[in-house]
Structure 1
């Protein structure tokens, strides 16, 4: 299954629960808890959402020294979430530490280890942004492939990357390595702060293994209708 993950980027818990309740009749609903909501409401918020029978993508983008990341990942592993993110730029030792921590935490509660995804380059970055901020001369695509290879060799299950790089990653890493793509908008929707944006249909054509969709669903007049439209477009290929 290639998930459509709904980003719960709200400023209050009630709005997040209202969104989830509208999607409750669908099977295998994935929701993303980002840094804003996790920092505001913490682990209890994750546990409350799990009770609504949704799958959780905890997008906290871990990045620190390996020891700190391992201990943080252990706590996350005990939450029973399904997907967790770490920054690929943290390097092999940090990614490996994240994996160990998730495995140990999940084992403590008798759950399956969450999928570990490594962040390559943010979809808000252009090639010029990447080269300037990171002091590199390689192209954006080469940078993403380089980070994806590091992540795969270090035990990550996949990466978060723009749909524009999805097929390149499959071709240059390994076919089973997952590529989950944010920066998804329905045609005509405002791209806002995203620079590398595609529709759900284009993401499928680019071989994305799953997509993260926020405002096109959560700010729609009819969230159920928008969610269904995204599902239909993504499954059209």
Structure 2
């Protein structure tokens, strides 16, 4: 069965005030998924997840939890109970924290009578480029080595997927077949501004490389016609 391209695109509500985000989410025709990041969550609070779900939208809660195992578990338990279906954690928190987060997310969803969310481990943020990563964090591994190592750590811990650059999607998919999710920010159509993303790819290319879903923000949210921009991205996936 063919997958609806709208299910593949997660629109990031970054940079929006709560009221603006809620209005925007209802105005984009065909929108299925939205991403709630730190800025919106801090301003709007957990209620924004419920408000978006009440509008029929599915929520990717991108708070990138990274802490000791007990705190990771508590955070993921509460995030799952909110109804978020995708939740990010940092892979570099380590296997104990990842396992605790996964178990707690399942428990939190069950207690709220919801389906268990998919936890996504962040490997290397798409804003990093290799020389700066090695210079500032004193990491000897290159990105091409570090990303698959963190992805494998996550998969072994029972995490359901990763957030990665589309540049790394093909290599990760070759080692982690579906249903392991690969969610990719850093999506830019040809001619679009790169912004603060260092490792980017077009929508159709990223899906062909093995991405499960694409996170797209400014090319849609800052468009003069967000519905048309969203529709164009969906059409590009069908070409």
Secondary structure of the residue aligned to 1:78 is helix
1:91 shift after superposition: 0.7
Q: Choose which of 96, 116, 120 in structure 1 pairs with 2:123.
A: 120
Computed over aligned residues only, the root mean square deviation of the Cα atoms, in angstroms, reads: 1.4
Secondary structure of the 1:111 match is coil
Q: How does 1:1-12 map to 2 (within 5 A)?
A: 1=3, 3-12=8-17
**TM-score, length-normalised on structure 1?**
0.94
Question: Offset at 1:55?
Answer: 0.3
Show the counterpart of 2:212. Answer: 209
Q: Give the Å deviation of 1:8.
A: 0.4
| Alignment match, 1:22 | 27
Q: Look up the match of 1:31.
A: 34
Aligned partner of residue 10 in structure 2, secondary structure: strand
- Say which SS state the counterpart of residue 183 (structure 2) adopts: strand
Q: Secondary structure at the match of 1:5?
A: strand
CA displacement at 1:175 relative to structure 2: 4.3
Q: Which residue of 2 aligns with 1:140?
A: 143
Q: How far does residue 139 in structure 1 lie from its aligned partner after superposition? A: 1.8
Aligned length: 234
1:78-117 paired onto structure 2 within 5 Å = 78-117=81-120
Structure 2: where are the runs of 5+ without partners?
none
The correspondence of residues 126-165 of structure 1 with structure 2, limited to 5 A, is 126-165=129-168
User: Once the 2 structures are TM-superposed, how far is the Cα of residue 129 of structure 1 from its aligned partner?
Assistant: 2.2
Q: Hey, what's the Cα distance between the residues in 1 that align with 2:121 and 2:238?
A: 24
Is the Cα contact below 8 Å between 1:80 and 1:106 reproduced in 2?
A: yes
- Compare 71-80 and 126-135 and name the one that shifted more: 126-135
Which secondary structure does the structure 1 equivalent of 2:162 belong to?
strand
1:23-62 pair list within 5 angstroms: 23=28, 25-26=29-30, 29-62=32-65
- In the TM superposition, what is the alpha-carbon distance from 1:140 to its structure 2 partner? 0.7
Q: 1:136 to 1:10 in 2, by over 3 A?
A: closer
TM-superposed CA distance for 1:136, in Å, is: 2.2
**Once the two structures are superposed, what CA deviation does each residue of 1:156-189 show, in whole Å capped at 9, x if it has no partner?**
1110000110010011234432111001122222
The secondary structure found in structure 1 opposite 2:45 is: helix
Distance 2:236 2:202 in 1: 8
| 1:204/1:235 contact within 8 Å kept | no
Over 4 Å off, 4+ runs? none
In the alignment, the residues of structure 1 paired with residue 50 and residue 185 of structure 2 have an alpha-carbon distance, to the nearest angstrom, of: 24
Q: Secondary structure at the match of 1:20?
A: helix
